[in-house]
Chain A
Amino acid sequence: MADILFYVFSAVALGSAILMVTRKNPVASLLYMVATLASIAGIYVLFEAHFLAAVQIIVYAGAIMVLFLFVIMLLNLGHDYRDDLKRGAGAILAFIVAGSTAGVLARQFRGAEASPLYDYFRGAETIDALLAEKGAVGAIAQPLFTDYVVAFELTGILLLVAVVGALALAKRRV
């Protein structure tokens, strides 16, 4: 069952990602992106990352995508159906770079079974026991507020800087 769901979510994610890149209308692109994000959230659930799945829907599909949609509407780009794919040298460069990225990534899968990373694998039971003991939120919150507390506080400062910066950039000169 989980496998079937995984393939369904993956197919939706990949299909809407391709449509997102190729649609001319920015609003259509954005809505396909929301579909991609929602199916990635579904895959998160299959990997027992329930908290992140909820955050993915609330923050990504909810807040960030609405911000994008707001900007598209504000700049009145919703009626823009012009073809904005690059042609000529730009397109060839895009194919070369994307193709070589694909090649580099594909090479990582060859002989991956012998990767030293597998020596560190603990098996899914360890995580399942942790999740059963602390719950989906507690399991993340515990390292977040102990081992990663400095990074967590810095993230708060980063968000403050981003809010101030966004306001300073976007407001009209008075």
Chain B
Amino acid sequence: MLTEALVVSAVLFVIGTFGVLIRRNAIIMFLCIELQLNAVNLSFVALSRYLGIDGQVFVFFVMTVAAAEAAVGLAIIISIFRHYETVNVDNFNLLKW
């Protein structure tokens, strides 16, 4: 079951990467980053079954950081929306070369 879980984790990570790059809606891009974090968590949990409990402790920390990141990121999206009235990333081109 370990190899299968690692394959699922890799595919989820690729789907997340693809989603971040292909979508324009900032909230969905953010959601795809959460999916990538979850894919990595899955491989941590799968490996912790054979390598010791420390993998699960790592997942615990990743979840906490994800929660903090979601709070701050959504706050940034809200303040951007106040300014531009949209969450479409094509409109945020101030730093574009």
* Chain A proximity mask over B3-40: 1 for CB below 8 Å, otherwise 0: 11111101111111111011111011011101100100
What's the Cα separation between A43 and B28 when bound, in Å? 24
Closest to B53 in A: A139
- Please provide the chain A residues from 29 to 46 with a CB less than 8 Å away from any CB of chain B in the complex: 29-30, 33, 36-37, 40, 43-44, 46
A6–B67 contact, CB under 8 A?
Answer: no
Measured between beta carbons, the chain B residues less than 8 angstroms from A60 are 34, 38, 63, 66
Interface secondary structure of B, over-half rule: helix
Also in contact, A105 and B10, with CB within 8 A (given A21-B22, A30-B31): yes
Q: A36-80: contact bitstring with B at CB < 8 Å (1 yes, 0 no)?
A: 110010011011110110011001100110011001101101001
Main DSSP-derived SS at the A contact region = helix
Q: Which residues of A contact B19 (CB under 8 A)?
A: 20-21
Give Cα A46–Cα B7 distance, bound, in whole angstroms.
16
A105 to B34 Cα, complex, angstroms: 19
Beta-carbon contact of A55 and B48 below 8 Å: no
Which residues of A lie under 8 Å from residue B52 when comparing CB positions?
122, 126-127
B3 touches which of A51, A105, A109 (Cβ 8 Å): A109
Known: A98-B14, A102-B10, A112-B3. A84 touches B88 (CB 8 A): yes
- For residue B71, CB closer than 8 A to chain A, the reply is yes
Task: Name the residue on A nearest B79 (C-beta).
Answer: A169
For B25, the chain A residues whose CB sits under 8 A away are 26, 77, 80, 84
* Nearest CB of B to A139, in Å: 5
Question: Interface residues, chain A, CB within 8 Å of chain B?
Answer: 2-3, 6-7, 10, 13-14, 17-18, 20-21, 26, 29-30, 33, 36-37, 40, 43-44, 46-49, 51-52, 55-56, 59-60, 63-64, 67-68, 71-72, 74-75, 77, 80, 84-86, 90-91, 93-95, 97-98, 101-102, 105-106, 108-109, 112, 117, 120-124, 126-127, 130, 139-140, 143-144, 147-148, 151, 155, 158-159, 161-163, 165-167, 169-170, 172
Closest A-B pairs by Cβ, 4 of them: A94-B21, A162-B68, A21-B19, A98-B18
